[in-house]
Amino acid sequence: MKTYLGINLSGYQLMIGEITDEGTILRKKDYRLDFFNQESAFEIIKSTLEDFRGGPEWGNECPEAIGLGLIGRVNADEGIWYQIDPQRTHPINLAAELSEWTGIPCFIDNDVKSATRAVIRWGLGQQTQDFIYIYVGTGIAASLVIGGRQVRGSHFNAGEVGHLRVGVQVGLRCPCGRMDCVETIASSVGLDRQARFLCKYYDTKLEIPQRGRIHVPDVFRLCQQDDPLCKKLVDNAAEAMANLIMDLVRVSDPDTVILGGEMVADGYLLERIREKLQTVTVRFVTGGVVLTKLDPHLISLLGAGAVAMDGMKRQS
């Protein structure tokens, strides 16, 4: 049986798994990460590969190819990882270097664009050529698919919608320099920042730890119990995401908007978002604003596997 290795590198976690052509994850492993740059990320990837396969050699279980989904700007065609963010910019030909080290074909792409490949290969992308996939997790980003093609942009930076302002004013400065970007309001990191900023104005039973981030399921649970702070956090996040979706719908005219990521995985926030959508704006979104039918927690890993499969298909 042919298998492929998928690796998804987010800001705080590396996930690696063995995946079949049908999108079945045979086994996987997660690794928590501290702050890293591109040079150290390459070493992290190599060490986790060795740990995952149980030693330096592949033996008889060599995958057909390796696919990586990476945060930041990626030239998927040339295999170049340009940057993690503006403070961590050091272009490396990661696909070629990793292929040389493993002896296996390696292919790379941005993590959200990788997840979109999984949507196209195994998910709702089988039913539509015009959709938006939005990741809502530690950050927020989107991939626009128009006529079956992903929009990438002149500098491979299309889809960084987390840095749009969407009419919700809190008073938080985004790392990009703007105030109240949607990522500061509706991502899990943004929810934590909001909670710390607003807790002096709203009563709450939410535990706000000195170290680490707030627990998002606790926010949703307490919101349902009418906790003042958590109600404000959820309302802000839902309004911000609804406005973002409606703005993107006006730009690209999709028939479906698909959401994935841990912030929407249980469906609670998605229902609040839908309540704030305006009928006229989304009247042509006939496929709805929906949760991915792939596992929202694993879609990025599946996307990395799809990157490997697509890469091998291009080479054949």
Please spell the DSSP secondary structure of 76-110, one letter per residue: TTTTEEEEEETTEEEEE-HHHHHHHHHSS-EEEEE
pLDDT in tens, the chain (316 residues): 899 999 999 878 899 999 999 999 999 999 998 888 888 899 999 999 999 988 655 656 789 999 999 999 999 999 999 998 888 888 999 999 999 999 999 999 999 999 999 999 999 999 999 999 999 999 999 999 999 999 999 999 999 999 999 999 999 999 999 999 999 999 999 999 999 999 999 999 999 999 889 999 999 999 999 999 999 999 999 999 999 999 999 999 999 999 999 999 999 999 999 999 999 999 999 999 999 999 988 999 999 999 999 999 988 7
What pLDDT is attached to residue 192?
97
At residue 85, the pLDDT reads 84
Q: Across the chain, which distance is largest between two alpha carbons, in Å?
A: 61
**Is this structure's pTM higher than 0.85?**
yes
Residue-level pLDDT at 272? 98
Q: What is the pLDDT of residue 1?
A: 82
- Tens digits of residue pLDDT in 68-83: 999 999 999 999 999 9
For 55, residues 6+ apart whose C-beta sits below 8 A from its C-beta are: none
What single-letter DSSP state applies at residue 173?
Answer: B
For the CA atoms of 314, 50, 91, 14, what is the dihedral angle to 10 degrees? 90
Q: How far apart are CA 53 and CA 68, in angstroms?
A: 16
Full strand arrangement of the beta sheet holding 256-260: 149-150, 140-146, 131-136, 256-260, 288-291
What's phi and psi for 14, nearest 5 deg?
Answer: -115, 130
251: helix, strand or coil: helix
